[in-house]
Amino acid sequence: MGIARRTARYRLVVWGGTIAAGVAAAVLIGPALDRVPPDAVHVAAMMRPPSPAWPLGTDDLGRDILSRLLTGGRVSLGVGLAATIAAAGVGVPAGLLSGFWRAWVDTALMRLMDLLFSFPTMALAVAIVGVLGPSLRDAILAIAVVAMPRFARLVRGQVLALREQDFIEAARAIGVPAGGIIRRHVLPNLLGLIVIEGTLTVSFGILTEASLSFLGLGVQPPAASWGSMLRYGYPFLDQAPWISIVPGIAIMVTILGLNLLGDGIRDLLDPRLRR
């Protein structure tokens, strides 16, 4: 059975991939096709409800919500992806070192991960941004620091199981160096799990960025993100609920798609979950 037909058997992959691809295409291509600049103020069109002229309405300054939604989506998705890459770039090597070499390396790295795990995730992110200052770069750094222990713990656990397997022992017996064993035998067996954790971490990054921006610690005005749009629309929930509802739905749909995709990939790669 071909890979395409195998993948089609798992509806979560299809549904999640379709939603994620649709959102990504909208935020990447949409701003180039939109006729209204995201920061353009239209005093005569303040808090207009959705209409043919304003498909998703306008906010309290008369800015087009559709334009800001598409532009802000680039920021939110970019933060989630960048933070995930940074977290995996540190967490995966840390897990490999800790699980493969053990001894004092394992103790030192895992105690550091335990220290980071001991803080509530949102409180730690707020503390980091509060110390460094509110900005997009610092929000990415804060999310990466919070997500890094998850990659390290996941990889370490899998390496501990793999290092006792017969094919690893055979590689050691014929003199393959540790770096070669990790590169040729360990990493290929971890890629699936890293991809799954990556999709879930992107969701976590988008949600955390939205929370930071809602608190005023993320993207700073006049730049738009889904979290900052929620913040600007919150005071007008009674008068113009669409200002907050639209970015809230965008966040919900995106995270749903990524979570479905991650769960589907897990089912696809784990033979124990196949029917």
Structural domain containing residue 97:
3-273
- The predicted-structure confidence for 221-247, as pLDDT tens digits, reads as follows 788 889 999 988 888 988 899 999 999
User: Where residue 226 sits, what CATH number does that domain have?
Assistant: 1.10.3720.10
- The predicted-structure confidence for 143-166, as pLDDT tens digits, reads as follows 999 999 999 999 988 888 887 777
Residue 4 has pLDDT above 70, yes or no: no
Who wins on pLDDT, 164 or 197?
197
Count of structural domains, the chain? 1
- Give the per-residue pLDDT at 251: 95
- List the end-to-end C-alpha distance of the chain, in Å, as a whole number: 15
Q: Among 68-72, 103-107, 196-200, 252-256, whose mean pLDDT is lowest? A: 103-107
pTM, entire model = 0.87
- Give the per-residue pLDDT at 89: 94
Q: Is residue 24 very low, low, confident or very high in pLDDT (cuts 50, 70, 90)? A: very high
